[in-house]
Each structure stands twice: as structure tokens, then as C-alpha cells.
Amino acid sequence: MGAPHRVLLLVFPDFQLLDATGPADVFASVDEHLSPSVRPAYRLEAVSPAGGLVRSSTGLELAARPLPEPAEVAGCTLLVVGGHGVQAAMQQGGIARWLAQAAPLAARCASVCTGAFLLAQAGLLERKPVVTHWRYAELLQRLFPGLEVLPDALFVRDDKFYSSAGVTAGMDLCLSLVEEDHGRELSLRVARGLVMYLRRPGGQRQFSAELLAQQAPAGGQMEQLVKWLHERLAQVVGVEEMAAHLAMSSRTLHRHCQVEMGMTPAKLLLQLRLEKASQLLDNGESSLKRVAQHTGFGSEYNLRRAFVQALGVTPGEYRQRFCR
């Protein structure tokens, strides 16, 4: 029986509880699918600057030990959580200084949500693609202009450094780490046990037009519009045609779409097309020409431009970074 792989969860006062407990549950669930002779697969430890009980933003506390000596991190997976307390943690500076010494020794280093700010402050993410919660992506890019912040991705890897978007995206990331360690079949069993997708149906993106559509009243006009557009993504569809389908003027359609969806009808159609293109790439479609044709972009050039503007990567880079 080999030694379990150590996973260090770095927390701080006012951290996001699910940023830590979600990934912990993913790693812990692996043992349910292994024989007793090879359990446990992972040994989980929470660490913090001072150790002891660390209060999360929910008020619940997590027991942690003080930050170990950097040499103790060698060979571990180091996971830096996020949360409302990240600003105070950055101002104090102790975590960033420790990370600068310890993280390079880890087998792999990852962040969940705003934990990316601490890795960036430690100088570990320069010139690397990075993900954080979409709400804080612009701020992360502004504070650390040397980073390549991807505004709409669930998680990304560059060598041994990983970062993930907000909250539950940390579980998606850790599921991918389990797949790296134990293979696709076991990671799929873990996903089923946790009632998770091994791959989200919207592709490796933080949010989708499908989710946005759920903001609109059930059975309402915007929900009808999304369904109607889904069936016509490969076709040329204009705003006037959308409005005619709903028996309203283009101006009324714009107003309804802005109020209920927070975007224009044209942006909604673009979101749906990007989502479909992401799914095709996730499912192994290798021809960018066919992806462009099936999603209404018409050409590889238009597909590439849309991906770069919306996701910060080309379709080829998306496939390389997010698809396995």
C-alpha cells in the first residue's frame, strides 16, 4: 500500500466554506471506490497562518494547523481557497510570502475562486492563463496585468499551476485532478456519487445562456425564444425574425431581453452559439470548419474571433486547455 497523497487546503479568516469543503469531499469520495488495501487515496489537511479554528464567512469554523515549513509541501497538492477575507489576507502579506517559498515545491498548486489573488500576489502566475470568479476577473487583471485572465472558464491548467472559478468550480477542478490520478472511470464514479457532471453540459464555462434563461419566468417569452433559437443555431437569424416569432416588435424584444436576461437578443444568440461550439469541442469534434458551420458562425475566422472576445482563447487553445 502506497502512502496517501497529501492535499493541503489553505484557509484564512472569512474564507468561503464551500471552496474548502467542496474539494475536500471530492478527494475524500475517492475511497468509496477503492479496495481497503489502497485506502486512503488522499490525506487532507487544512492549514492557515495562525492555525487553530478558522472562521468562515458563514460563521462555521474549520480546524487548521499552522502553515508548515515550505519543505513539508514537497510532493503535495496545495489548494488555496477564496472568500471575502482574501483582501485582508493580501494586506497582511504573510500568506503570499509563504506561498512564494512553498508553492514551487508542491507537486501541483491550485486556487479556487479569489484564491487566485493570493497566488498572483506571490508572483506565481505571471504570464500564465488564470481563472477566478467571473465577478472578480476584471479586478484580478487590473491588479496583476502580467496575468492572462480568462473571463469565462471553469478551470485552467498551466504546467503544475491550476486555477478555478467560483465556489462549485473548485469541485470541477478537483474532479479533474482525481481523473489525472486515478483515471476517467473512477472520476466518473465519484462524479455520480456526488451528483455532479464529469463535464458540465454547457462546456467548461462559468455560466451559460441556459442558466441565464432560467432567470426569466417559466414558460415565458424568453424561455420560448431560447428554445426556438436552439433549433436554428446553424441558420442566419436576425433580431427582426426573433421578434416576429414572438409576435412583438424588435424594440419590445430588446426591452424584454434586457430586463429578463440582462443582454440584447443578439448577445443571447451569440452566447447560445458559443455554448454549442464549446460542447462540440468538448465532445471531440476536431474540425473547426464543421464547428463553425453547425453553430452559425459561418467561418473559422468568425468562430475564432468570437472565442477570443468572449473566452480569451482561440477554439484550438480552448480544446487544448479544457478538453480531455
Amino acid at 119: L
Cα 240–Cα 243–Cα 245 angle in degrees, nearest 5: 110
Separation of alpha carbons 196 and 199, rounded Å: 8
Sheet of 77-80, strands arranged across: 52-55, 61-66, 42-48, 5-10, 77-80, 108-112, 161-164, 155-158
204, 201, 288, 270: which is closest to 233 by C-alpha?
270
Let me know if 113 is a catalytic residue: yes
Give DSSP secondary structure letters for 119-150: HHHTT--TTSEE---GGGHHHHHHH-TTSEE-
Q: Which residue has the cell 498551466?
A: 158
Do 11 and 64 meet the contact criterion of CB atoms below 8 Å apart? yes
The single residue of 109, 113, 174, 257 carrying the catalytic annotation is 113
Report, as residue numbers or ranges, the catalytic residues.
Answer: 113
